[in-house]
Structure 1
Amino acid sequence: MLGFKWKDIWKRMKILGIEFAPLRIPLERRLQTVAVYQFTLSFLFLGFSCLFLAFYLLFTRFYYISLIYLVWYYYDRHQSTHGGRRVQWVRKWKMWKYFANFFPLKLTKTVELNPNKNYIFASHPHGVMCYSHFCNYATEGTGFSELFPGLRPYLLTLPGQYKFPFFRDYFMLTGSCSASKECMEYLLSKAGKGNVLGLVVGGAIEALNAAPGNFRLILKNRKGFIKIAMKHGADVCPVYTFGENDLYSQVPNPEGSFVRKLQLVLTRICGFSPPIFFGRGVFNYTFGLLPHRRPLNTVVGKPIEVTRNENPTNEEVADLHQKYVDALIDLFETHKSKYGIGEDEHLTIE
C-alpha cells in the first residue's frame, strides 16, 4: 500500500512538470552538489546570518565575543582594501575541485603571461552569482596557479561584503578583497609584481540580465578600471565565461517593466541587485536555489599592453577602452562556436 502511494505521488508530480533526481547517484556527484550548495547558501545568507549572530550574542552571556570582535573589526577594517588575508590551504580545499567538477568548469589560457607584470582580468558576464569567477580567482578549483605560474589571483567583490562580521574574515581567506579604487591601486603599486585582479566589470546591474541565451554586457561606460590600469601600467586581459548566464532562469524583467524598475531602485538602496531567479533543487531538476549542471568555459584572452600614464586624458582612456571592447568581442567571436553558440549570436555592449 505504501509503495502504491509513493508511485501515485510520483506520477502526480510528473504531471505537474516536476522532474525528480534519481535516488541512486554516485557519491562523487553528491559531493559536487554539496560543494556548490554550500557556496550558494553562503553567497545568499551567510553574511546576514553572521550579522544577526553578532547582534544576538550581545544579549547573551557570550556578549564579550561580539565586543572583542568589534575591537578586532576596527583594527582590521582596512584589510579588505590591502589585499585581504589569503591562506593557500583554504584555496586548495578539495571541496573546490568538487565545485568546479559540478558544472564542469574549465579555465583556458590563450597565451603565456609574464609573472613580472601585473594584470587586470576584466571578466564577463556577471551571471547571477559569479560561480565561475569565484572558483577561478578565489580558489584553486580550476588550477589557476598551475595554469598561470608565478601569478597571484585576487577576486574583487562589492565592498559591502566586507562589512559583515565574521563573514568578511572567512571570505578574505580565499584571496578576495574589495573592488574599490583604493584596493586596486594598492595591489598594483604596493604588493609587488605578479598580481592578477579578477574584476567582474558589469557589476550588480549586469546580474539583472543573466538568463540563458543573453549576451548583453554592461561595459560602455565602465572605464574606471581602464584609467587605473593606465595609471599603474597594468596589462588588461579580456576574459569571458561561456555558460555563466545559462545556470539560472529569471522572472521576465524587460527594460521599463515594473519588475526591472523595482530591481533598479533596490540596487541603488542596497548596493547589490536582487534578481528573481530559479534553478534546480537538491532532489529535483525543476526549481530551487542550485544552478543547473551546465558546462562553464572561462577563456582568458591575450593581454592588451598598457603603457604607464599617471595622468591619462579622457581621450586616451576612451581609446584604450575601445581597444578592450574590440578585443573582448574578438575573443567571443573566435571561441563561441566551440561552446555551442550560434553564428548569429553576438555580444551586445551597453
Structure 2
Amino acid sequence: MKIFQRLIRSGLLTRLRLMKIKFAPLNVPLRRRLQTFAVLQWTFSFLALAQCCLAGFILLAVSDWWILAVLYAGWLWLDWDTPTSGGRRSQWVRNWSLWDHFIDYFPITLSKTVDLDPKRNYLFGFHPHGVLVAGGFSNFCTESTGFSRLFPGLTSHLLMLPFWFRIPMFREYIMCGGLVSSHKSSLSHILSRPGGGNVAVLAIGGAPEALDARPGALTLQVLNRKGFIKLALKHGADLVPVFSFGENELFDQIDNPTGSSLRSLQEWLQSLMGVALPLFHARGVFQYSFGLLPWRRPINTVVGKPISVVQTLSPSKDDIDRLHGDYLSALTDVFEQNKLKYGIETDSHLQFI
C-alpha cells in the first residue's frame, strides 16, 4: 500500500491516466524497426530471459525428457567454476549483426584517449552504472563499437553479479559475450593472467548506483569502494577510468530519495537478493509514451588514460588510499575534458559519495 501511495505522489499514475499516448507511425523505416527489435530482445534478456530459462529447466526436469535435465545438471556441476575462471566467450555471438542494429538505436560509440599496451592486464572502472549498463554491454560484450580494433591484443571481460551464473542455460548465453562473475576470485583470475592482454571491466558503483540512475544524475558511488584498488595493487594491473556519457539518460525512474519507504524497500530487497530493483520506465515498442524500452539517446563511452600500478602483494591502507585518490582524479579528468563535447553544461561536475 505504501508503494502504491508513493506511485500516486510521484505523479506516475496520474500521468498514465491523463497522457495522450503517442503511437509510432506506420511508415517507420525497416532499419529503425530492426533497431527496435534488437533493443527489445536485449531488454527482454536482462529482465525476463533468466526467469524463462529457469522455468524451462524445471519443466524439462518434470517432463518425459527429464534425462536431458539430469545430463545438463551434471554438466553444470562440472562447469560450475567457469564463470570465475575467465568464462567461455564466443566470437560468433559477439559479432552478431544484431548488435550493429542495437548500437545504431541510440547510437553508442566507444573512444580511447591513448593506446594501451597489450602486454599489460587492466582493470577498467566503468561509470556510471546506469539502469541496465547498456554502454558497458555494447562496448565490451560485442564488437559492434570496435573494441578489438581500438585496442588490438586486448580481451575484455565485463563482470556481472555471481547470482546470474547460477541460472541454468542463461549462464551459457551471457558467457558467450564475455560476461564473467564479479566474485573476487574471478577478478583476480583475469588480472593475474601471465602475458597480459586481459581487461576486467567493473561497474564500480554496482547495484546501489542503479537506484539513482536517472537523467541528469552525476552522483557516483565510489568513495567507499576500494576493493578493486586493492586487487589492482596485488596483481599489478593498471587502472583505467571509463566514463559513459549518456548512460543515465536512457530511462526515467520513480522518485526514491534516500530515507523514503520505496528506497528502504529497494535497499532491503537488494541486501536480500544482491540485485537492484529500480522502478524505471521510458517508451514502448509501438508507442513512445510509456514502456520498458530505453529512449533513443546517444551513449558515448570514453576510455581514459591508464594509471600505472606497481605490484604490491600486501598493500597497506596508505597504498590503497593513495591509488584510490589518483583514480578519482583521473576519472574526474576524463569527465571534465569531454563533458562539453557530449552536451553537459560547464558548471556540471561529478559528485562522489
Residue identity matched to 1:48: Q
* 1:29 maps to 2:19: no
Q: Aligned to 2:216, what secondary structure does the other structure show? A: coil
Deviations 1:315-346 (A, max 9, x none): 11011001101111111111111111111211
* 1:196 maps to 2:214: no
Alpha carbons of 1:50 and 1:114: their partners in 2 closer, same or farther (altered >3 Å)? same
Correspondent of 1:108 among 103, 107, 111: 111
The percent identity for this pair of structures is 49
What aligned pairs does 1:256-267 form with structure 2 within 5 A after superposition?
256-267=259-270
Ranges in structure 2 where 5+ consecutive residues have no aligned partner: 1-15
Residue identity matched to 2:82: Q
Per the alignment, residue 138 of structure 2 pairs with 135
What aligned pairs does 1:13-92 form with structure 2 within 5 A after superposition?
16-92=19-95
Residue identity matched to 1:19: K
Aligned-residue offset at 1:49: 1.2
Aligned-residue offset at 1:191: 5.7
Alpha carbons of 1:57 and 1:14: their partners in 2 closer, same or farther (altered >3 Å)? closer
What is the distance in 1 between the residues matched to 2:239 and 2:250?
A: 27
What is the distance in 2 between the residues matched to 1:154 and 1:310?
A: 23
Residue identity matched to 1:340: G
Q: Aligned to 1:186, what secondary structure does the other structure show? A: helix
Per the alignment, residue 329 of structure 1 pairs with 332
Aligned-residue offset at 1:87: 1.1
What is the distance in 2 between the residues matched to 1:156 and 1:192?
A: 21
Per the alignment, residue 213 of structure 1 pairs with 216
Residue identity matched to 1:163: R
What aligned pairs does 1:258-337 form with structure 2 within 5 A after superposition?
258-337=261-340
What is the distance in 1 between the residues matched to 2:241 and 2:19?
A: 43
Per the alignment, residue 148 of structure 2 pairs with 145
Per the alignment, residue 3 of structure 1 pairs with none
Residue identity matched to 1:317: I
Aligned-residue offset at 1:190: 3.2
Q: Aligned to 1:339, what secondary structure does the other structure show? A: coil
Per the alignment, residue 348 of structure 2 pairs with 345
Deviations 1:262-314 (A, max 9, x none): 00000001110000000101111111110000010000000011011111001
Ranges in structure 1 where 5+ consecutive residues have no aligned partner: 1-12
Residue identity matched to 2:248: N
* 1:251 maps to 2:243: no
What is the distance in 2 between the residues matched to 1:217 and 1:14?
A: 34
Aligned-residue offset at 1:14: 12
Residue identity matched to 2:177: T
What is the distance in 2 between the residues matched to 1:179 and 1:141?
A: 24
What is the distance in 2 between the residues matched to 1:238 and 1:17?
A: 42
> In 1, are the aligned partners of 2:191 and 2:199 still within 8 Å (CA)?
no
Q: Aligned to 1:165, what secondary structure does the other structure show? A: coil
Q: Aligned to 1:225, what secondary structure does the other structure show? A: helix
The two structures have a TM-score, normalised by structure 2, of 0.94
User: Could you list the runs of 4 or more consecutive aligned residues of structure 1 that deviate by over 2 angstroms after TM superposition?
Assistant: 13-17
Per the alignment, residue 184 of structure 1 pairs with 187
What is the distance in 2 between the residues matched to 1:332 and 1:343?
A: 11
What is the distance in 1 between the residues matched to 2:23 and 2:101?
A: 22
Deviations 1:74-119 (A, max 9, x none): 0000000011101111110101111111100000101111111111
Per the alignment, residue 118 of structure 1 pairs with 121
Deviations 1:109-131 (A, max 9, x none): 01111111111110000110001
RMSD: 1.3
Larger mean CA deviation between 18-27 and 126-135 belongs to 18-27
What is the distance in 2 between the residues matched to 1:14 and 1:313?
A: 57
* 1:93 maps to 2:135: no
What is the distance in 2 between the residues matched to 1:16 and 1:218?
A: 35
Aligned-residue offset at 1:17: 2.7
Query: Would you say how many aligned residue pairs link Structure 1 and Structure 2?
Result: 338
Q: Aligned to 1:337, what secondary structure does the other structure show? A: coil
Larger mean CA deviation between 49-58 and 115-124 belongs to 49-58
Q: Aligned to 2:314, what secondary structure does the other structure show? A: coil
Per the alignment, residue 3 of structure 2 pairs with none
Q: Aligned to 2:234, what secondary structure does the other structure show? A: helix
Residue identity matched to 1:342: E
